[in-house]
Amino acid sequence: MTISSRIRGLITLRRLSALTMIWISLLAAPTVDAERQLPHDGKYVKDAQFNYPFVKMGKQVLRLAVGGKIYNEQNLIIMPVSAPGKADVLYRVDLNGEISQIWILTPEESKVAKAAAAKKK
């Protein structure tokens, strides 16, 4: 075995140990749950009822717009048939008066949105 092959072996071993340390530090790093960004101009409704393509918002019945998006509690876009029967939501309306976006709220988000809606009134 020559000196150059020993040096190459040490360099490879150092790289491997450096990569191992990087992987360990990434796995040990704490995960941070980012708070999802809800629209400030969204309208809050308690117990909205989904019946695709319509959504009953209190006494109003609105239509989900073509290309309208429904976000679940994990902020994933879901198909309208996957929406729960009833949920507390924030929603936005487009220029045609149809619902363009709906956010299904967690219980904590619902409390915050309800308090914000009460302040606006």
pLDDT digits (tens, 9 = 90+) for 17-76: 666 767 676 666 665 566 888 998 999 999 999 999 999 998 999 999 999 999 999 999
16 & 60 share domain: no
In a shared domain, residues 26 and 67: no
Hunting for tokens 């029967």 — which residue is that?
85
> Model's pTM, two decimal places?
0.71
Task: Report how far residue 22's alpha carbon sits from residue 90's, in angstroms, rounded to the nearest whole number.
Answer: 41
Q: What is the pLDDT of residue 79?
A: 94
- Within this chain, do residues 66 and 106 fall inside the same structural domain, yes or no? yes
| 50 and 108 inside one domain | yes
Boundaries of domain holding 7: 1-32
- Taking the mean position of all CA atoms in its chain, how far away is CA 114? 19
Are 107 and 51 contained in the same domain? yes
Shared domain for 10 and 68, answered yes or no, is: no
Are 16 and 57 contained in the same domain? no
Q: How far apart are CA 70 and CA 64, in angstroms?
A: 9
Q: Which pLDDT does position 31 carry in this prediction? A: 58
- Is there a single domain that holds both residue 93 and residue 48? yes
Please write the tens of the pLDDT for every residue from 94-114: 999 999 999 999 999 999 999
Co-location of 56 and 82 in the same domain: yes
Number of domains in the chain: 2
Closest CA to 36 of 120, 111, 103, 88: 103
SS3 35: coil
